[in-house]
Structure 1
Amino acid sequence: MKKILVPSLIALAVSSLASVAQAQTAPESTLSYNVGVVTDYRYRGISQSRLNPAVQGGVDYADKSGFYVGAWGSSIKWIKDAGASAGSVEIDLYGGYKGTAGDVAYDVGFLRYEYSGNKLAGVNGAVNANTNEVYGAATYGLFTAKYSHAISDLFGNANSKNSYYLDLSAALDLGEGYSLTPHVGRQTVKNTPSLSYNDFSLTLGKDLGNGLSASAAVVDTTADKTLTAFQTPAGKFTGKTGVVLGLKYSF
């Protein structure tokens, strides 16, 4: 009996420890929030806030299955700068799925850029600013490639459905809470090649602890500075080389 009982107890103990370890490492669903401020809201290299500061914030729910949904918002000025009487807030609504295939992590989803109450339609031949995109990203080691495809007109540009954006970046851990993220992107605008351009950035991040983080980024683009689409009402180039500072609190 002892020869049977002792191995059985050992097997039971090992099984119990394995179950505990599995429970500890199993992914869990999370709900998180973030608020922040930046000295300039740059999106794909172009200022959305007239080269001025912007207030931002968001909420994210990540299910342990890999599915996620979220919302993020920012103050903006580009719609009013284009001549519309309303449209000072951007709300991004998104959902998707994250998973892995071997050594590659992937992320696929849908993103809606909502500019509530915007009056861009009809201004200089423009259309409604609201935009829908689908996207897919793959990460291998330090490197991530992401492709975003517009399934509607893109940010108020008429006849621009099927425009796309390609994003290549790397995430470098410098230690002691510092990170460095080099990035290059290509925005292609369907049927209006003059609006297509490349953008570049190099972002230094610092984890300050307790959910607080800071960032400093150098941003540049090849956008055509002579086009009014890339100018503020005062004639400043919204895709110019610049430094963007940010502070964010996540909880």
Structure 2
Amino acid sequence: MFKPPLILLGTLLSCSLAHAQVFQRELGEFDLKLGTTPSRSMAQGLVKPATVGSFHGGLDLSHDSGFYVGQWSPSMGLSSGNNLEVDSYMGFKQPFDQTLGYEVGMIHYSYPKVDTLDSQELFGGLTFLGSRFGAAFSNDPDKQNSTLFADLGGNKPFGIGVSMKYTSHQLNAPISVDGGYIGSFTDWSVQLSRPLMGIDLDLIYSDSNLSGSDCSAYSGHNSQCDGLVTLRAERSFY
């Protein structure tokens, strides 16, 4: 794809936190957004999750035709244990009508301060009555990942949003575990979300088909191999 302009991204992140707001401006037929939350709905649900540090943000430039490009950094690597990550993306999004639309695109993941190979992801999906259904395929240095994603935002009983993700991981080289080798595995997650008094509450259940000593081979989307229930509360001050 294209090399990430780190200077511009760094300026954006500093500016976003200092002014505590999202900047949006129309430039002719283009719409420019600078902010501290991902702008792309489909990509936001399909990208690989990463630890979000205190400093994060991105930019997004879209055209009236539906074409867009942008960058998102889930972590600036300023806190201990977090590395600088820059996700550069491009795609095309277009509605068929007021109830149905589609989106296709690709993402390039880079880690400028870590000695590791970059990775790429292709994604696409449909939007129907406010809900999103998508799929993605990514080629990591050590494995290939195929993901199915659903965000039932079009129907929120009691104001609760529901999103689900299921991923199959195929390792490039089998990993030795007690009693044999692991060449592939799957993981999944279900998330319930609801805003409450300005706070975004998320209840997340995640799990995989690995357990016990086989978890030594796990390197999937979830933070833990075995079943895990997480309650997360986040408040945005800008």
TM-score, L = length of structure 1: 0.59
Query: Which residue of the partner structure matches residue 19 of structure 2?
Result: none
1:237 aligns with 2:224: yes
How far 1:45 sits from its partner (Å)?
Answer: 11
1:247 aligns with 2:235: yes
144, 154, 168: which is aligned to 2:150? 168
* Distance in 2, Cα, partners of 1:197 & 1:66: 34
CA-based RMSD of the aligned residues comes to 3.8
Closer/same/farther in 2, CA of residues 140 and 47 from structure 1, 3 Å limit? closer
CA offsets, 1:100-120, max 9 Å, x none? 235421000110011113224
Query: Which residue of the partner structure matches residue 133 of structure 2?
Result: 145
How far 1:223 sits from its partner (Å)?
Answer: 5.2
Query: Which residue of the partner structure matches residue 221 of structure 1?
Result: 207
Query: Which residue of the partner structure matches residue 41 of structure 2?
Result: none
* Distance in 2, Cα, partners of 1:45 & 1:224: 22
- 1:205 touches 1:214 (CA, 8 Å); kept in 2? yes
Query: Which residue of the partner structure matches residue 30 of structure 1?
Result: 31
Closer/same/farther in 2, CA of residues 107 and 54 from structure 1, 3 Å limit? same
Secondary structure of 1:228's aligned partner: helix
Percent identity between the two aligned chains = 16
Code of the aligned partner of 2:89: Y
Secondary structure of 1:189's aligned partner: strand
Q: How many residues align?
A: 186
Q: 1:194-205 to 2 correspondence within 5 Å?
A: 194-205=183-194
How far 1:167 sits from its partner (Å)?
Answer: 1.3
Q: 1:94-105 to 2 correspondence within 5 Å?
A: 94-102=89-97, 103-105=99-101
Secondary structure of 2:235's aligned partner: strand
* Distance in 2, Cα, partners of 1:73 & 1:136: 21
CA offsets, 1:69-125, max 9 Å, x none? 111112388xx98xxxxx7122111010001235421000110011113224xxxxx
Code of the aligned partner of 2:206: D
134, 144, 151: which is aligned to 2:122? 134
* Distance in 1, Cα, partners of 2:236 & 2:32: 17
144, 164, 189: which is aligned to 1:183? 164
- 1:187 touches 1:196 (CA, 8 Å); kept in 2? yes
Closer/same/farther in 2, CA of residues 89 and 205 from structure 1, 3 Å limit? farther
Closer/same/farther in 2, CA of residues 94 and 139 from structure 1, 3 Å limit? same
Secondary structure of 1:68's aligned partner: strand
- 2:203 touches 2:229 (CA, 8 Å); kept in 1? no
Query: Which residue of the partner structure matches residue 103 of structure 2?
Result: 107
Query: Which residue of the partner structure matches residue 87 of structure 2?
Result: 92
How far 1:173 sits from its partner (Å)?
Answer: 5.5
* Distance in 2, Cα, partners of 1:32 & 1:71: 11
TM-score, L = length of structure 2: 0.61
